Structure 1
């Protein structure tokens, strides 16, 4: 599945209090993707708004949850609701497509 990727979005300390209910399934999906030769991409939300209390860059809340398996260094941040607006992610998607 070289032309496929698993994208994990916003699984960060501030996103939910109940992520422990799903983390085992997320990790299973990551293992499945790696075993299938897929790229694994992680997206983090960074809230740059003045006075923000969540997803503040450099805080524990903005970090990916510690129980999640990190299978690649393809970790991208977004500051808007659409991760595809970020140039580094667009560039990586194009690079992945060229490896097919």
Structure 2
């Protein structure tokens, strides 16, 4: 039997200057609502580091996110959502075999979650445009997103049409 969980990664105040942030939050909220309506697990990964210091406003999950008290929140201290977080154990206990990944940042925590989840035997999916990042000196955020979605699709994940 196929059971999915939505993994919302690093949707935190300190990252609110990424490309297209308000639209990203609105679209992720629609995805969260769909998972809640289907009674499927919704998991939030919350990053902790020198810029997203535990307990600070920057560290907090963005207000207005449709997180319920029953949704699981895991803290992570690395770009890997699976590394020393308890996420995999929780998902296995919930008999989840498909992970729907969204959030921040495309080339760091989203890319790592998709690749590591794939390597650990989960079916990985993501919706095009439900991840974002910052412009760099060499590439725009849109270029980074398009590049990574192209790599993931068919190799590590199924990239679904935008919502």
Alignment partner for residue 32 of structure 2, among 30, 33, 38? 30
Alpha carbons 2:45, 2:81 under 8 Å: kept? yes
Q: 1:73: which partner in 2? A: 71
Runs of 4+ in 1 over 4 A off after TM superposition: none
Distance 1:94 1:55 in 2: 28
Alignment partner for residue 46 of structure 2, among 44, 47, 50? 44
Counterpart secondary structure, 2:15: coil
Q: Is 1:16 aligned with 2:13? A: no
- Deviation string, structure 1 residues 8-33 (Cα, Å, up to 9, x no partner): 00100011225222211111101111
| Aligned-residue RMSD, C-alpha | 1.9
Where is the strand percentage greater, Structure 1 or Structure 2?
2
Report the more deviating stretch, 74-83 or 28-37.
Answer: 28-37
Structure 2 gap ranges (5+): 97-163
In the superposition, the TM-score normalised over structure 1's length comes to 0.82
In the superposition, the TM-score normalised over structure 2's length comes to 0.52
- Deviation string, structure 1 residues 7-65 (Cα, Å, up to 9, x no partner): 10010001122522221111110111111221100001001xxxx3x111111101100
